[in-house]
């Protein structure tokens, strides 16, 4: 059994992704952040549109969470782009 206590970030918050800071996650998170900022959308507004928690959006943008495909689709939809376009923006 895996102890999730060992998956905590620098400020003690739980981090359930074993792939934290993976280059692909960093690229995807960076793309989401760039697109969000280009549309002048706050993390809170994106979270509301995508029906996820604001702190989750922050973790995804930092590359701390491995986002599930359904959540990725909701985030892309909230940014008014396709998942394909989002992946292309991230160069992955």
Residue 7 included in any domain: no
Residues 31-67 pLDDT 10s: 999 999 999 999 999 999 999 999 999 999 999 999 9
Domain hosting 62: range is 18-89
Residue 40 included in any domain: yes
Residue 45 included in any domain: yes
Residue 8 included in any domain: no
Count how many domains the chain has.
1
DSSP class of 14: B
Residue located via tokens 């995804």: 60
> pTM surpassing 0.75?
yes
Q: What is the CATH number of the domain that holds 32?
A: 1.10.260.40
pLDDT value at 13 more than 90: no
Which comes out higher in pLDDT, residue 16 or 21? Answer: 21
Distance from the Cα of residue 16 to its chain's centroid: 13
From the number of C-beta atoms within 10 Å of its C-beta (0-12, 13-18, 19+), residue 52 rates as: middle
Residue 48 included in any domain: yes
């Amino acid at each position: 059994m895996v102890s999730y206590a060992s998956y905590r970030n620098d400020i003690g918050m739980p981090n359930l992704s074993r792939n934290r800071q993976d280059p692909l996650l960093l690229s995807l998170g960076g793309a989401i952040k760039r697109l969000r900022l280009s549309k002048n959308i706050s993390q809170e507004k994106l979270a509301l549109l995508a029906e996820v928690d604001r702190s989750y959006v922050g973790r995804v943008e930092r590359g701390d969470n491995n986002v599930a495909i359904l959540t990725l689709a909701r985030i892309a939809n909230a940014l008014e782009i396709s998942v394909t376009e989002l992946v292309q923006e991230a160069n992955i």
